[in-house]
Homo-oligomer: A and B are copies of this chain.
Amino acid sequence: MIGGGEGAYIGNIHRLAARLDGAWRLVAGAFDADPERGRQFALAQGIAADRSYGTYQELIAGESARPDRVDAVAICTPNFTHYPMAKALIEAGFDVICEKPLTATLEDAVALEKLARETGRFVGVTYTYSGYPMVHEARARVAAGEIGTVRTVQVEYPLEWMATAIEQQGNQQAAWRTDPKKNGRGGSIGDIGTHAYHLAGFVTGLKLQALTADLATFVEGRALDDNAHVMLRYQGGARGLLWSSQVAIGNSNGVRLRVFGDRGSLAWYQEQPNELVLTPLDGRVQTLKRGAADMSEDAKARTRTPPGHPEGYLEAFANLYLGFAEAIRARREGREPSAVGRNLPTAADGLKGVAFVEAVVDSHEAADQPWITPIAV
């Protein structure tokens, strides 16, 4: 693991998720920009002293030299460092698990996706919400035609924690997210809108054709958008509406997806993730529960407990780690991965996400509000 040392939020989530199923062991790391702090942290995690590294370059050098070198490296560092680290790791022959966004610029994302494709290295991107079993269930049902041809998608990701200028009051998590140098051009749209965009595409299988967007910055002195409205046109005629916000008081982590087809609809809400609401044409609203007997193979492969025993965010994250492990193992063994190792977010998805954010900001900045087409992937 690179980054994720003392006090890091997402690094800890990665470790909890990797540990849950026993599919990964954390044996080496460069946890902190401060090598000494990093070593202390490694010690506390039970890492051998000779595998606690000061920098990612040392980690690559050290691990490359070992017969028992690590299987993959997780990158949990600020956005702008993702590209050089991932590139060096891939070139040294390591598989990579990378926090989203894949990179801070579109150029880097294009290059990285190409490198991954050409080398055959596995690059997993932690679009967490695609780890939820009922999101896979939704995807499987759409793919099976259960709601017919998709007509419109309503997706939103509202948050409340940045409703005031906390980045000016010492909150580090908010500070880097509102700094264009560290976060890229998109504010809420880059931080969370990209999750919503990935989720909608993941479940529907739709490919974006064009969008038009309206960004706003409501907190004074903030350099990036904290609220984004986007109208989407998908290939084939489906439409979408996407809202991301960091100032939507009352929403802890309100990811919500609704998909309407010509034969039914599906709705999923992240704060109640074990349920999926299905309404067939002319039928009753039905609640599907995770773990029920009629679930798809994809959802079953990602579920540990029976209906009524809630699984949550960490289990979703753990499903990505399980899947990454299976995908890598299957490649090594020259076989198809089992269900949990399929339909994973990879470098191509990471690239799509970066391209989406660029298109949104371009649309907003265009004087005449044209429909902007993201680069083809």
Give a binary string over A5-26; 1 marks a CB under 8 Å from any B CB, 0 the rest: 0000000110110011110000
Interface hits, A146-196 → B, CB 8 Å: 147, 151-152, 154, 156, 159-161, 163-164
Give a binary string over A236-273; 1 marks a CB under 8 Å from any B CB, 0 the rest: 01010101010111111110000011111101001111
Contact A260 B249 (CB under 8 A): yes
Stretch at the interface among A47-55, A69-77, A87-95, A210-218: A210-218
Q: Which of B21, B251, B274, B363 contacts A16 (CB 8 A)?
A: B21
Contact A369 B371 (CB under 8 A): yes
* CB neighbours of A154 from chain B (8 A): 156, 243
Which partner residue on chain B sits nearest A150 by CB separation? B218
Q: Is A337 an interface residue (CB 8 A)?
A: no
Min Cβ gap A106→B in Å is 7
**Complex-state Cα separation, A20 to B355, whole angstroms:** 36
Contact B212 A371 (CB under 8 A): yes
Q: Is A113 an interface residue (CB 8 A)?
A: yes
Q: Is A227 an interface residue (CB 8 A)?
A: yes
Category for how many chain A residues contact B: 35 or more
Q: Is A356 an interface residue (CB 8 A)?
A: yes
Which partner residue on chain B sits nearest A313 by CB separation? B309
* CB neighbours of A247 from chain B (8 A): 151-152, 260, 262
Min Cβ gap A256→B in Å is 11
Q: Which of B279, B306, B312, B359 contacts A253 (CB 8 A)?
A: B306
Q: Is A111 an interface residue (CB 8 A)?
A: no
Stretch at the interface among A29-37, A135-143, A283-291, A327-335: A283-291
Q: Is A325 an interface residue (CB 8 A)?
A: no
Contact B20 A285 (CB under 8 A): no
Contact A212 B309 (CB under 8 A): no
* CB neighbours of A212 from chain B (8 A): 212, 214, 231, 369-372
Q: What is the oligomeric copy number?
A: 4
Q: Is A61 an interface residue (CB 8 A)?
A: no
Contact B152 A216 (CB under 8 A): yes
* CB neighbours of A362 from chain B (8 A): 372
Contact A272 B270 (CB under 8 A): no
* CB neighbours of A82 from chain B (8 A): none
Which partner residue on chain B sits nearest A226 by CB separation? B151
**Complex-state Cα separation, A251 to B266, whole angstroms:** 11
* CB neighbours of A273 from chain B (8 A): 310
* CB neighbours of A254 from chain B (8 A): 308
Given contacts A285-B286, A304-B314, contact A363 B370 (CB under 8 A): yes
**Complex-state Cα separation, A229 to B151, whole angstroms:** 13
Q: Which of B152, B287, B358 contacts A227 (CB 8 A)?
A: B152
Contact B281 A288 (CB under 8 A): no
* CB neighbours of A253 from chain B (8 A): 306-309
Which partner residue on chain B sits nearest A211 by CB separation? B372
**Complex-state Cα separation, A227 to B265, whole angstroms:** 15
Contact B348 A374 (CB under 8 A): no
Contact A305 B13 (CB under 8 A): yes
Looking at A160, A241, A254, A282, the one whose CB has the most chain B CB atoms below 10 A away is: A241
Contact A249 B310 (CB under 8 A): no
Q: Which 4 pairs between the two chains have the least Cβ-Cβ distance?
A: A253-B308, A252-B308, A310-B312, A250-B279
21 interchain pairs, CB-CB under 8 A: A152-B245, A154-B243, A159-B308, A160-B279, A245-B260, A247-B262, A249-B260, A249-B263, A249-B280, A250-B265, A250-B277, A253-B309, A270-B308, A271-B274, A271-B308, A309-B313, A312-B315, A314-B315, A355-B375, A359-B374, A359-B375
